[in-house]
Amino acid sequence: MEHVKVFQGNQIGGCVTVISAMHEGKVRRIMIDYGSSLPGSDNEKDFEYPWAEMPVDAVFFTHYHGDHVGRIMEIPPEVPLYMGPVARQVMINIQEALGHNRNISKEERELHLKEAAVLKDDARVRTFRIEEKRCVPVKIPGFTIEPYTVDHSAYDAYMFLIEAEDPDREFGKYITVHTGDFRGHGRRGHRMIDVINVYIHRFNKRKVDALVIEGTMMSRPEEKVLTEPQMQLEATKYLMNHKYAFLVCSSTNVDSLASFYRAAQNTDFPCGRYMFVYSNYFLKQLKLYTKTAGHYSEVYKFKKIASLDSKQELMHEKWEKPKSQKEFMEDYGFLAVIKPEDYHEHYIDEFLKAYEEGRIDQKPVIIYSMWEGYLKPKKDNGEPNKAYNKAWDDFFKKQKAKGVEVKPLHTSGHATHEMLAKVINAIDPQDAIYPMHTEKADEFKMLGIKEELKKRIR
């Protein structure tokens, strides 16, 4: 039997994998990820999964990005959902924030609150448990699923090893590894090859049949990749010379937020610079990362954080009178996360005004820490770029026209060509390689992988 089927694997985002097993004479299936196509993908409409003809016993989510979880509400209500415990809470925070967002319609708000209720339902959602530093395998009829954490721009992201029963096979099972989205250049990425050797292969005692692997970076060969610590160093140098820094960065990119927060702490040693954020939702996420990721490493502890909109007066024994938060920001500098949207422009303008009125001696700057592709109307080959975000591009152009410097400083959440080759060689799948999350599946053959592996690319 064919054990692996990848839907929409030929685009970045919205890939769905279904794995089949033969259990007591019956076909059983599980699904990995059910997300939306990203804006700009070639498939105009998402495909419809045939839930009735090909029912699945469970859906496993690799991580909380919308292109992996976005269609969760379309999954039939009797199907259990498996995910990481922190990923679950991050998703609840997002849906609850949207559920109370006055900028969207009442109908949309209700949908988000419904999704939050599904995510909170313990009968429906099951989270991975860690015992003795590794995830406990999940057993369901026909399958054993072993989750392993991977490094990605989402925290609490997983790859899965799936043992699917198949009486026709030599050892009675077909083994697939699904990488999810991953990279080697974050703070935890260097461990992946060890995890493969020790846990996946059990020191050469277990072989893998199929590998489903992401290839986002295949279409971005020109992209320069910094490690997170390198980016932190760059940010530190930049913040040393720029006291009033705004930052555009995703609220769920825990590693990059940590890099910028650490940079802000190193900049004004020994006291550290405050990180302000644009909403209570954002504060809630930072507190969650501090409690969870921060439990394992100091790097993820966000302590000097506050809301940009706080009206609270601040007092210190050395000050003669209390300061408003704005006065505090003018005196001590800041790192402040905003969105590149017009309704956040006033934050920048306040400090431009303070500069013009001579209260501060530097103009504010903006660090842009998201994919550069969103700001490019055309691809490098001259074709129109469907992922181009004109509103953002206009926003930054407008700020530059006012004399505000925009500094791009970002690192990818995805594996480089070298890392992809390393992982493919290390997993050494005996039967098939399924590229997914990529527009350039053909180019997997150009990677530095063993010749016999090239023949297994589907």
Task: Give the interface with Zn ion as residue ranges (CB under 5 A).
Answer: 65, 181
- Residue 181 or 330: the one with the smaller Cβ distance to Zn ion is 181
Give the list of residues 6+ apart from residue 158 with CB closer than 8 angstroms, or none: 62, 63, 84, 128, 135, 147, 148, 149, 150, 180
SS3 360: coil
Q: How many helices (H) and strands (E) does the chain have?
A: 13, 22
- Residue 155 or 244: the one with the smaller Cβ distance to Zn ion is 155
SS3 42: coil
Q: How far is the CB of 352 from Zn ion (least distance, A)?
A: 35
Can you tell me the distance from the alpha carbon of 359 to that of 15, in angstroms, rounded to the nearest whole number? Answer: 52
Nearest to 419 by CA among 210, 181, 65, 256: 181
Q: How far is the CB of 181 from Zn ion (least distance, A)?
A: 4
The residue whose two tokens read 């995805």 is 414
Q: How far is the CB of 285 from Zn ion (least distance, A)?
A: 16
- Residue 181 or 209: the one with the smaller Cβ distance to Zn ion is 181
- Residue 275 or 436: the one with the smaller Cβ distance to Zn ion is 436
- Residue 236 or 253: the one with the smaller Cβ distance to Zn ion is 253
Q: How far is the CB of 60 from Zn ion (least distance, A)?
A: 15
Nearest to 71 by CA among 110, 45, 104: 45
Q: How far is the CB of 414 from Zn ion (least distance, A)?
A: 8
Q: How far is the CB of 217 from Zn ion (least distance, A)?
A: 12
The residue whose two tokens read 């001590």 is 332
* 456 contacts 432 by C-beta, under 8 angstroms: yes
* 345 contacts 255 by C-beta, under 8 angstroms: no
Q: How far is the CB of 62 from Zn ion (least distance, A)?
A: 8
Q: How far is the CB of 48 from Zn ion (least distance, A)?
A: 23
Can you tell me the distance from the alpha carbon of 337 to that of 383, in angstroms, rounded to the nearest whole number? Answer: 32
SS3 323: strand
Q: How far is the CB of 136 from Zn ion (least distance, A)?
A: 24
Can you tell me the distance from the alpha carbon of 173 to that of 152, in angstroms, rounded to the nearest whole number? Answer: 29
- Residue 182 or 282: the one with the smaller Cβ distance to Zn ion is 182
Q: How far is the CB of 253 from Zn ion (least distance, A)?
A: 10
Please name the amino acid found at residue 429.
P
- Residue 70 or 429: the one with the smaller Cβ distance to Zn ion is 70
DSSP 112-131: HHHHHHHHH-TTTEEE--EE
Residue 144, beta-bridge partner list = 139, 163
- When computed from its CA atoms, the radius of gyration of the chain, rounded to whole angstroms, is 23
∠ at Cα 23 (170, 5), nearest 5°? 80
- Residue 7 or 355: the one with the smaller Cβ distance to Zn ion is 7
Can you tell me the distance from the alpha carbon of 451 to that of 435, in angstroms, rounded to the nearest whole number? Answer: 16
| 396 φ/ψ angles, rounded to the nearest 5 degrees | -70, -40
The residue whose two tokens read 């990005």 is 65
The beta strand positions in 33-113, using DSSP E, are 58-60, 81-83
Length of the chain: 458
Can you tell me the distance from the alpha carbon of 249 to that of 255, in angstroms, rounded to the nearest whole number? Answer: 11
- Residue 149 or 399: the one with the smaller Cβ distance to Zn ion is 149
- Residue 146 or 181: the one with the smaller Cβ distance to Zn ion is 181
- Residue 159 or 366: the one with the smaller Cβ distance to Zn ion is 159
DSSP H or E run through 12: none
Can you tell me the distance from the alpha carbon of 182 to that of 107, in angstroms, rounded to the nearest whole number? Answer: 35
Q: How far is the CB of 52 from Zn ion (least distance, A)?
A: 29
